[in-house]
Chains A and B, each alone.
Chain A
Amino acid sequence: MQVSCNNVTFVYDKKDPNHYDALKDINLEISKGEFVALVGKTGSGKSTLVQTLNALIKPTSGYTKVDYFIVTSDKKLFKEKMKELSEDEVKKNKKLYLLRKKVGLVFQFPEYQLFSVTVLKDVMFGPTNFNLTEEEAKKVSIEALKSVGIDESYFNKSPFELSGGEKRRVAIAGILASDPDILVLDEPTAGLDPDGKKEIMEVIKKVHEKGKTIILVTHDMDVVMNYAKKVVVLNDSKLVKITTPHELFDSDDIEKYSLEIPTLYKFKKLLVKKGYKKDLSNVYDFNSLIEVLGK
């Protein structure tokens, strides 16, 4: 397993008299090359969970494991886990930036992280931090910018002059340039127009096709339906379901988790409700729907 969460529990502010678990006993496994969507209603703990993946926050109890990196604030558990690793791996565990290079995390509204004088320099910031030379960093940054559809004429502009959507792309390029093995995106399409949304998703798809693992937090069920192979549902800090998009949308308890149903599945449910008799369980896109209806 490339990524695994083991009994992960997290509390934000232990001193707060009415604190609660933002994550409750989460167990999850993700293998290399998967495209996983993480869904759940507002405040269910999605952003919290993804931040444990690159040690921005450490589980209060339990641990997350990314390759040989162990993330936990439980010192005893950490020591125990270190015993299972080779000497080299233990050494690497001390260097957080190695983990952060491996797991690229794009935050919700990432445009606020821009700070450099030019767009290109801003994107180069990540790779240079991860010990690439100026030359190499420039090369990968130009590639990353082009892959998110930022034209060369923008490279020397100030990032503060860009539109919201353009800023978002530059910020995503800033993570892509570090060439992470696991790309984690927290609602990358929030607040974008349909075209912008589609373009960003296509970029993510391309990265996935290169063999990278994608973990995508989203409220957009159409995105889940069209891109993800596996869905993880969080509800009230707990992991309630690991399934495929098709199964999730066909099941009846989807409303329980306050998730929106994609148009196709709404239509399917409506057909059944109005008395349509044929078997619709194999319908997973509009083409297969038309096929069944036309029979």
Chain B
Amino acid sequence: MKNVFGKLTPYNTVIHRLDSRIKMLALIGFMVICFLPYGNYANRFIILGILFAIILVIMAIAKCSFLSFLSNLKSLWFMMIFLLIIFVFVPQAGDTSSYHPIVTFPNGYQIYYEGLFQSLHVFFRLVMMIALTLILTSTTPPMEMTYALEWFLTPLRIIKFPTQVISMTISLALRFIPTLLDEANKIMKAQKSRGVDYEKGFLTKKIKSVTTLIVPLLSSCFSRSDELSLAMNARGYEPYGKRSSYRILKIGRNDIVALIIVFIIVAAFSTMCYFTQNVAGYDNFLHLWFGIGAF
């Protein structure tokens, strides 16, 4: 369960030391280029493959555990099946005359290679998203992420948007995730002692056993937040007051270098996207140059 959020790894690599704002920007940049279209499927897979290789290199630099990456992917198999069914078996919309059928049923219904590729494509993007977020969460303490978020939200202060309150809320929420997990674990143990089996049972029984966990968890959540807000008040917390920060974010030389590298990568991929989408012939450049990949 804890793995879902990605645990901070105890190393001190270049990526760990980078400014959290840069890392967030890089994350956004990479995600955007993940989702850009690059012409036909052969192109897309090649280009995304290059991108994935870059991401793997970053993972290696950040000493991300490849095992935890794989264990994150394990939960995706259901998604994959779902995608396959939707893309492959649901009839394609629009013009399918240029598509390549795998099989044609007697009644004229066709299943296309394109459907298969589409689902693989989406899946590939998801895998990369997970890799990217894993890199961020395993190299950045949650608190630094909230600082970064607060920094990004500062312009909104002009329109009187309470950025400090939002960032305080987020950091508190992050702070309480492990506590709540512990609590849930404790409650589950107590209910198991009363004969609840969380693994077995049919739907109605499952719903019942989940309520035995959710109700106490919610009730303790509320009482906890009550206590917390009282404690904060007692210590003079003033949401709209001017506050200083224990940690001051500072851009160093490494950060600038990283920013430039990210910029170059994003620019390169955007260019590829531009060419493959708008310049005639390039949407199929592999075919053009190497005579392969007619898809």
Binding site for B on A (CB under 8 A): 51, 54, 56, 96-97, 100-101, 104-105, 107, 110, 112-115, 125-126, 129-130, 160, 174-175, 178
Q: At the interface, yes or no: B219 with Cβ under 8 Å from chain A?
A: yes
Q: How far, in Å, is B202 (CB) from chain A's closest CB?
A: 15
Inter-chain contacts of B219 with A (CB < 8 A): 112, 160
Task: Give min CB distance, B209 to chain A, whole Å.
Answer: 9
* Chain A positions within 8 Å of B186 at CB level: 107, 112
**Which of B122-130, B188-196, B241-249 lies at the interface?**
B188-196
| B110-140 vs A, Cβ < 8 Å mask (1 yes, 0 no) | 0000000000000000000000000000000
Point out the residue from A96, A112, A126, A160 that lies within 8 Å of B194, measured CB to CB. A126
Q: Is the CB of B195 within 8 A of A129?
A: yes
Mark B residues whose CB is within 8 Å of A. Answer: 183, 186-187, 189-197, 211-212, 215-216, 219-220
Residues of chain B lying within 8 A (CB to CB) of residue A178: 194-195
Pair A125/B194 contact, Cβ less than 8 Å: yes
Task: Show 27 residue pairs from A and B whose CB-CB distance is below 8 angstroms, ordered by the A residue.
Answer: A51-B189, A54-B193, A56-B189, A96-B197, A100-B192, A100-B193, A101-B195, A105-B193, A107-B189, A107-B193, A112-B183, A112-B186, A112-B187, A112-B190, A112-B216, A113-B190, A113-B191, A113-B194, A114-B216, A115-B212, A115-B215, A115-B216, A126-B195, A129-B195, A130-B195, A160-B219, A175-B193
B188: nearest residue on chain A (CB-CB)?
A: A56
Q: Which residues of B are found within 8 Å of A115, using beta-carbon distances?
A: 211-212, 215-216
What's the count of A-B pairs with C-beta under 8 Å?
51
Q: How many angstroms from the CA of A110 to the CA of B189 in the assembled complex?
A: 11
Bound complex: CA of A174 vs CA of B212, how far in Å? Answer: 13
Q: How far is the CA of A249 from the CA of B194 in the complex (A)?
A: 35
In the complex, chain B residues whose CB is within 8 Å of the CB of A104? 193
Contact B194 A175 (CB under 8 A): yes
Given A97-B197, A100-B195; A110-B215 close (CB under 8 Å): no
Q: Is the CB of A110 within 8 A of B195?
A: no
Query: Which residues does chain B contribute within 8 Å of A56, judged by CB atoms?
Result: 189, 192-193
Q: How far is the CA of A100 from the CA of B194 in the complex (A)?
A: 7
CA distance A122 to B220 in the complex (A): 17
Taking the nearest CB of chain B, how far is it from the CB of A97, in angstroms? 5
Q: How far is the CB of B124 from chain A (nearest CB, A)?
A: 29
